């Protein structure tokens, strides 16, 4: 099952991928396992884009397939999920970057795990993050970026939050294809996550969850 869905999705075979998910859910397959396969496939898509095997149009198409799969998985994953919102998280892809696959997975995972999520979208200027923190009083911010140019805008965003006097009240995580410990230190973030599961773990630890 794993290899089939990963292959269909990473090869952008939309009908085959959706049919596979439908049949798996009909057979009561674990939706979390399916989601894990989806993340693996999307990581492959990201690598193919980075190596110029895939283009922007392919990336956008992968995002469309992802959205359809998420719609199918959501009701199954929410069946045993918490009802009461456990904390507020602001998520967005930083200015200069239009990649949304990783961001959308993070938004989805945080949502089904009981967090109130404010998705600012893609190519988000620093001031918009500042304004949203002031508006919502969120204590967690998640910055997404796939391109290396996003490192500078992540730093600029965190610096803007500092200038606004909000940084000390926030926990900030960053994530994306090439994010590592060095980038975390450069941007001034509190932590980085390798995938959407890691984002949930970080949010749980910061909000006092299990």
**Residues 112, 198: one domain?**
yes
> pTM of the predicted model, to two decimals?
0.78
Q: How many domains does the chain have?
A: 2
Strand ordering across the sheet containing 116-119: 116-119, 88-93, 140-144, 171-175, 191-193
**Residues 138, 197: one domain?**
yes
**Residues 139, 56: one domain?**
no
**Distance separating alpha carbons of residues 172 and 206, to the nearest angstrom:** 10
CATH code (residue 73): 1.10.1240.10
Q: Model confidence at 2, in pLDDT bands (50, 70, 90)?
A: very low
Nearest to 110 by CA among 173, 168, 46, 49: 173
How many helices (H) does the chain have, and how many strands (E)? Answer: 9, 5
pLDDT of residue 32: 84
**Residues 29, 94: one domain?**
no
**Distance separating alpha carbons of residues 178 and 176, to the nearest angstrom:** 6
Q: Which of 57, 78, 99 represents a domain boundary (last residue)?
A: 78
% of the chain exceeding 70 in pLDDT: 94
Q: If you average pLDDT over every residue of the chain, what do you get?
A: 88
**Residues 31, 130: one domain?**
no
Q: Model confidence at 84, in pLDDT bands (50, 70, 90)?
A: low
CATH code (residue 98): 3.40.50.280
**Residues 157, 183: one domain?**
yes
**Distance separating alpha carbons of residues 204 and 210, to the nearest angstrom:** 6
pLDDT of residue 149: 86
pLDDT of residue 75: 86
Q: Which residue bears the tokens 């992540």?
A: 154
Structural element, H or E, at residue 174: strand 171-175
**Residues 71, 94: one domain?**
no
In a domain, 83, yes or no: no
Residues 163-175 have a mean pLDDT of 95
pLDDT of residue 196: 83
pLDDT tens digits, 13-30: 999 999 999 999 999 898
Q: Which of 78, 102, 122 represents a domain boundary (last residue)?
A: 78
pLDDT tens digits, 112-157: 888 999 999 999 999 999 999 999 999 999 999 988 889 999 999 9
Q: Which residue bears the tokens 């496939």?
A: 41
- Residue 31's domain comprises 2-78
**Residues 108, 44: one domain?**
no
Q: Which of 24, 57, 78 represents a domain boundary (last residue)?
A: 78
In a domain, 142, yes or no: yes
Query: Using an 8 Å Cβ cutoff, are 141 and 172 in contact?
Result: yes
């Amino acid at each position: 099952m794993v290899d089939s869905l990963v292959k269909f999705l990473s090869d952008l075979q939309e009908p085959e991928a959706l049919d596979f998910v439908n049949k798996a859910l009909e057979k009561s397959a674990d939706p979390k396992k399916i989601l894990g396969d989806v993340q693996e496939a999307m990581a492959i898509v990201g690598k193919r884009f980075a190596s110029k095997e895939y283009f922007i149009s392919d990336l956008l198409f992968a995002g469309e397939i992802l959205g359809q799969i998420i719609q199918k998985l959501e009701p199954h994953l929410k069946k045993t999920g918490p009802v009461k919102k456990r904390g507020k998280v602001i998520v967005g892809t930083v200015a200069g970057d239009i990649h949304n696959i990783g961001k959308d997975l993070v938004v989805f995972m945080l949502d089904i795990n009981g967090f109130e999520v404010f998705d600012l979208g893609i190519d988000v200027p620093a001031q918009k993050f500042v304004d949203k923190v002031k508006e919502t009083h969120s204590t967690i911010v998640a910055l997404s970026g796939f391109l290396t140019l996003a490192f500078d805008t992540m730093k600029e965003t965190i610096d803007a939050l500092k200038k606004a006097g909000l940084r000390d009240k926030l926990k900030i995580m960053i994530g994306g294809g090439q994010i590592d410990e060095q980038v975390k230190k450069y941007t001034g973030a509190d932590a980085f996550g390798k995938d959407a599961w890691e984002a949930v773990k970080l949010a749980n630890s910061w909000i006092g969850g299990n």
